[in-house]
């Protein structure tokens, strides 16, 4: 098989990477896409670096065996912990990571706090701190660790009282402040965007999916590996839980509107 017709792989600690794959479906409709979610071991954001690396390498190896021409680490936690080691080992395959969209939030140049929602691991890593040094030194940026939000999304809780109460408890200290933007620093979080929007009102809600897929497309263009087929690409979903419930949730999330 020619390289350009091989699939693109996406991995995540669970179902969150589907939010990135949805962006790829829009931008690269001819590409064949494979998503591997490790819901059996979710969330990654409360594990040790050693555990995260081991699980991430296992997921990437699964996608390598599927002959993926490029692999997207559609998980902020896995990117922050394992991306450099992955690129060192898999030198022949482009490995694209995702990071919290701090730069676009700062470039809005609007008054108010920037709140970065992410897992505890993402917020404490050197990669994230480097982002802050580059783009956020003169802005008030609030760290808001939300590990339980991953678990809610993994259970398919996208709306309702349980989700609303959790988010209110997190945002309560800032509800009387001016908030310019909320950065979704975990790929699960876009599936809760409607609920977040109800709380933060006019604040912009930003995630890293668009930038990640743009980078993926540019890399494939440079390598002359964009799929030039006239037909729509295929989509395959795999999950470490391998249950009907999780696969139904994946299909539901793929079809759900993410505003």
Query: Could you report the per-residue pLDDT of 215-240, keeping only the tens digit for each?
Result: 999 999 999 999 999 999 999 999 99
Nearest Cα to 45, choosing from 134, 154, 199? 154
pLDDT confidence bin for 62, thresholds 50/70/90: very high
Binding-site residue numbers for substrate are 12-13, 44-45, 76-77, 187-188
DSSP 7: P
The domain of 237 spans: 3-98+209-255
188 and 244 in a single domain? The answer is no
Pairing verdict, β 141-145 and 8-12: unpaired
List active site positions. Answer: 75, 186
Percent of the chain scoring above 90 in pLDDT:
82
127 and 213 in a single domain? The answer is no
215 and 235 in a single domain? The answer is yes
Tell me: pLDDT of 65 over 70.
yes
Q: How much is the pLDDT for 83?
A: 96
Q: Which residue has the higher pLDDT, 135 or 68?
A: 68
Q: How much is the pLDDT for 259?
A: 52
93 and 219 in a single domain? The answer is yes
Mean pLDDT, the chain, rounded, equals 93
247 and 171 in a single domain? The answer is no
pLDDT, average across residues 127-142: 73
Q: Range with the lowest mean pLDDT among 84-88, 127-131, 234-238?
A: 127-131
Q: What is the pTM of this model?
A: 0.93
State how many domains the chain has: 2
25 and 63 in a single domain? The answer is yes
107 and 202 in a single domain? The answer is yes
CATH code assigned at 31: 3.40.50.1860
Query: Could you report the per-residue pLDDT of 6-56, keeping only the tens digit for each?
Result: 999 999 999 999 999 999 999 999 999 999 999 999 999 889 999 999 999
Q: How much is the pLDDT for 257?
A: 62
Token pair for residue 151?
């678990």
141 and 125 in a single domain? The answer is yes
Q: Is the separation of the CB atoms in 14 and 75 below 8 Å?
A: no
156 and 119 in a single domain? The answer is yes
52 and 81 in a single domain? The answer is yes
Q: Give the torsion sign (CA, 159, 164, 170, 176).
A: positive
Tell me: pLDDT of 258 over 70.
no
Secondary structure of the chain in HEC code, one letter for each residue: CCHHHCCEEEEECCCCCHHHHHHHHHHCCCCCEEEEECHHHCCHHHCCHHHHHHHHHHHHHHHHHCCCCEEEECCHHHHHHHHHHHHHHCCCCCEECCCCCHHHHHHCCCCCEEEEEECHHHHHCHHHHHHHHHHCCCCCEEEEECHHHHHHHHCCCCCCHHHHHHHHHHHHHHCCCCEEEEEECCCCHHHHHHHHHHHHCCCEEEECHHHHHHHHHHHHHHCCCCCCCCCCCCEEEEECCCCHHHHHHHHHHHHCCCC
200 and 213 in a single domain? The answer is no
Binding-site residue numbers are 12-13, 44-45, 76-77, 187-188
Q: How much is the pLDDT for 39?
A: 97
């Amino acid at each position: 098989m020619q390289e350009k017709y091989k699939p693109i792989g996406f991995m995540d600690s669970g179902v969150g990477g589907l939010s990135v794959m949805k962006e790829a479906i829009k931008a690269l409709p001819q590409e064949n896409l494979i998503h591997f979610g490790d819901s059996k071991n979710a969330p990654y954001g409360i594990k040790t670096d050693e555990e995260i690396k081991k699980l991430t390498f296992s997921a990437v190896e699964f996608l390598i065996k599927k002959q993926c021409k490029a692999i997207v680490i559609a998980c902020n936690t896995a990117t922050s912990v394992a991306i450099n080691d992955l690129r060192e080992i898999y030198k022949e395959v482009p490995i694209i990571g995702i990071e919290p969209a701090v730069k676009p939030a700062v470039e809005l140049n609007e008054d108010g706090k920037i709140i970065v929602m992410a897992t505890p691991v993402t917020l404490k890593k050197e990669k994230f701190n480097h982002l802050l040094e580059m783009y956020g030194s003169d802005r008030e940026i609030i760290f808001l660790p939300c590990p339980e939000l991953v678990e809610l999304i993994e259970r398919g809780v996208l709306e309702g009282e349980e989700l609303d109460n959790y988010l209110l408890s997190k945002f309560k200290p800032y509800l009387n402040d001016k908030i310019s933007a909320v950065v979704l620093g975990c790929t699960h979080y876009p599936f809760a965007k409607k609920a977040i929007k109800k709380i933060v009102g006019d604040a912009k809600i930003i995630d890293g999916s668009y930038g990640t897929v743009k980078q993926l497309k540019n890399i494939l263009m440079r390598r002359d590996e964009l799929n030039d087929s006239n037909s729509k690409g295929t989509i395959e979903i795999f999950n470490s839980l391998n249950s009907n419930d999780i696969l139904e949730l994946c299909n539901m999330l793929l079809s759900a509107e993410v505003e």
